[in-house]
Amino acid sequence: MNDIALSAVRLAKRYGARDAASNISFDLRRGRVLGFLGPNGAGKTTTIRMLVGLIRPTSGHVLVHGQDLQRHRERALGHIGCIVETPDLYPFLTGRENLEHFARMLDRSAVRGIDELASLVRMDRRLDEKVSNYSLGMRQRIGIAQALLGRPSILILDEPANGLDPAGMYEMRELIRRLATEDGLAVFLSSHLLTEMEKTCDDVVIIHEGKSVVAGTVKEVTKDGQVSLETVFLERTVPVGGHTL
Looking at every residue in the chain, the average pLDDT score rounds to 86
Q: Can you give the pLDDT at residue 223?
A: 65
Closest by CA position to 96, among listed 69, 125, 57:
125
On the CB side of 194, CA atoms within 13 Å amount to 15
124-179 pLDDT per residue, tens:
999 999 999 999 999 999 999 999 998 999 999 988 888 888 888 889 899 999 99
pLDDT band at residue 241 using 50, 70 and 90 as cut-offs: very low
d(CA 43, CA 59) in angstroms, rounded, equals: 15
Closest by CA position to 131, among listed 113, 151, 145, 116:
145
DSSP assignment of 137-188 equals HHHHHHHHHHHTTT--SEEEEESTTTT--HHHHHHHHHHHHHHHHTT--EEE
Give the global pTM: 0.86
200 has a pLDDT exceeding 80: yes
d(CA 38, CA 193) in angstroms, rounded, equals: 8
Q: Pairing mode, if any, of strands 80-83 and 243-244?
A: unpaired
